[in-house]
Amino acid sequence: MAERPEDLNLPNAVITRIIKEALPDGVNISKEARSAISRAASVFVLYATSCANNFATKGKRKTLNAGDVLSAMEEMEFQRFVAPLKESLEVYRREQKGKKEARKDKDKKADSEEQDKSREEDNDDDDERMEEEEPNDEEEVDN
């Protein structure tokens, strides 16, 4: 392979933000350290994928599922990640369900929503005022 998989880096901005939020205020990070962490994150994904794939293969499956990833975390001695990951997964699943239902509802309300949007675009600067001045309109539209 000409390109190493580790070269597939994750976006620097996001990595930097995660690092900064994890550290106390006033702490900086050098460019070299940041890019090293970014590369480490990529390696982490690759390693975790490989571990997860082992579990999938054991289960005679060809598709990695969330459970395989969680098992991989335990295998990699990151058990402390498992609980928070499970919670995030629950939230994610709920969101996905919510999105599906929202899509159905959105089709019904599509017309009224378009009217709302055009009004919002006109009053872009006066978002707050719009809500105050035109409460009646919004109520009518929701009907």
Tell whether residue 92 is a contact of other proteins (CB under 8 A). yes
Rounded-to-integer distance, Cα 64 and Cα 76, Å: 17
Among 18, 59, 111, 138, binds other proteins (CB under 8 A): 18
Tell whether residue 82 is a contact of other proteins (CB under 8 A). yes
Among 37, 75, 112, 130, binds other proteins (CB under 8 A): 37
Size of the site for other proteins (CB under 8 A): 66
Distances (CA, A) of 15 to 3, 10, 22, 40, 81: 22, 7, 11, 11, 18
Q: Pick the closer one to other proteins by CB: 81 or 130.
A: 81
Q: How many beta carbons lie within 10 A of that of residue 44, not counting itself?
A: 14
Tell whether residue 102 is a contact of other proteins (CB under 8 A). no
